[in-house]
Amino acid sequence: MCNRKKEDLDEKLHLESIYDIITFFTEKEIEKIKASAKVDNYDNPLKDIICYDRSQSTSNVYDDRSAMIFKTNKAFEIVKRTNIDWLNSKKNQFFSNDYAEVSSLLGEIRALAEIYTNLYREIPIGKSRLECVPTSTKATPDFRLIDEDYYGEEYTIDFEVFTKTPDKTSQKGIDLGESVTKIKGTEHKITTRFSSHRPFSTEKRESETNKHGADLRHIIHLFTQIKSKDKQFIDEHINVLWIDMQDKTISHYGSFLSFAFPTKIREASFLSSALWHAFYGKQGMIILHEMFQGEHNTYRTAKLEHDGRFYLTDNKTDFVVFSFPRKTIVFENPDSDKKIPERFRESLTYLLHFNSVESRIDFPKGSLEKLIRNDVDNLSNLYDYLKERDDWEE
């Protein structure tokens, strides 16, 4: 009886937490979402939110999932209030059989709400305005913010939103072969088959001996290439790539992806940041992936095969925002010669859960170059120390 009461209370609390989501749909539409079949082994992302079962999650994922659901519900409330026409125009996408399409729309709604709440200045006088850019045959950004700096000079910011989900082929394991071990004193043998689950990349090279380090290298490459052609951006505007990292399919990799320091210590070993290297890395940099402790510590490493996104010759991205359930990280392009208004830089620090320690922006003015130089110097010193202390497997 007590368990039943608790279940009823949990359900009531959950329905309250998604009130603004479910009131956007009719009862018939809600039932349609609940009845939708799995696609690529995953439920419709909106169904997963509506039918979320708190008891089925580990504590860390529970916190992230709860935070994501709270932010999504709040985003629906804000967008319903400020731009219901745009939201209504997107409604049919929620019933799509394409998992990535639904997840991307949720990412756009969360981003639009965040931009409206913390970057847009809703004032009756002046030129500040926020637009949802209509889609067309020509590549366009998702949102456009036009504002004035402290001196009355107008500037334009374009936002392109990308929601990270695994691609279909990456759900399959990659066969890495098998090993056969004979049991002493018997004729029996044990055959062990190895496979690698790579949630973001399935590239495999014949010459690859270090699958682990190479896998991290591929993840770095993937983040470098997100919207890499920048066709939706205009050179004269300030261009922001907004990467939503709140999809359920990557929630279990949060500890692996949600840090932006160049390296962090995990289980007594150093791990390179996929995010930092994807945007600030330089070709030839060593990527630390895994350390094996024993008589001699051995590091598995790989080398970055390309420069980070900000240093590519055709890059038009000036800022990248990583939006996690409980953290927001902002990177600024140190190689840009654009005049960035201080008002906009300052407003970035108002983003929900903004992490000033892991972010790399030129605020206060003049600090970005020093931050990146310190990052690179610290990495170089770390590599020298580890090479002297441990075995090095590249």
Is 323 among the domain residues?
Answer: yes
Is 346 among the domain residues?
Answer: yes
Instruction: Convert the pLDDT of each residue in 276-286 to its tens digit.
Output: 999 999 999 98
Instruction: Point out which residues pair with 270 in neighbouring strands.
Output: 265
Task: Count Cα neighbours of 23 within 13 Å in the Cβ-side half-sphere.
Answer: 14
Does residue 1 register a pLDDT over 50?
Answer: no
Q: Which helix (H) or strand (E) holds 352?
A: none
Asked whether residue 112 falls in the same domain as residue 228, the answer is: no
Mean pLDDT value across the chain: 81
Instruction: Convert the pLDDT of each residue in 55-88 to its tens digit.
Output: 655 555 558 888 899 999 999 999 999 999 999 9
Number of domains present in the structure of the chain? 2
Is 174 among the domain residues?
Answer: no
Is 330 among the domain residues?
Answer: yes
Asked whether residue 250 falls in the same domain as residue 384, the answer is: yes
Asked whether residue 218 falls in the same domain as residue 333, the answer is: yes
Of 87, 103, 118, which closes a domain? 118
Q: What is the pLDDT of residue 348?
A: 96
Instruction: Convert the pLDDT of each residue in 122-136 to its tens digit.
Output: 665 557 789 999 887
Of 83, 118, 153, which closes a domain? 118
Instruction: Convert the pLDDT of each residue in 157-170 to its tens digit.
Output: 999 999 988 665 55
DSSP assignment of 20-74 equals HHHTTS-HHHHHHHHTPPPBTTB--HHHHHHT--GGGS-HHHHHHHHHHHHHHHH
Asked whether residue 380 falls in the same domain as residue 238, the answer is: yes
Task: Say if residues 48 and 31 touch (Cβ distance below 8 Å).
Answer: no
Of 50, 84, 118, which closes a domain? 118
Task: Say if residues 39 and 171 touch (Cβ distance below 8 Å).
Answer: no
The pTM for the full model equals: 0.85
The DSSP letter of residue 320 is: E
Is 165 among the domain residues?
Answer: no
Asked whether residue 103 falls in the same domain as residue 227, the answer is: no
CA distances, 38 to each of 35, 72, 83, 95, 97 (Å):
10, 21, 30, 12, 9
Is 358 among the domain residues?
Answer: yes
Does residue 239 register a pLDDT over 90?
Answer: yes
| Total count of residues recorded for the chain | 394
Domain hosting residue 100, numbered range: 2-118
Asked whether residue 219 falls in the same domain as residue 89, the answer is: no
Tokens of 19: 């009130």
Name residues whose C-beta falls within 8 Å of residue 370's C-beta, 6 or more positions apart in sequence.
Answer: none
Q: Which helix (H) or strand (E) holds 214?
A: helix 211-224
Instruction: Convert the pLDDT of each residue in 9-41 to its tens digit.
Output: 566 767 888 999 999 999 999 999 999 888 767
Task: Say if residues 239 and 158 touch (Cβ distance below 8 Å).
Answer: yes
Is 347 among the domain residues?
Answer: yes
Is 9 among the domain residues?
Answer: yes
Asked whether residue 372 falls in the same domain as residue 251, the answer is: yes
What percent of the chain lies above the pLDDT cut of 90?
44
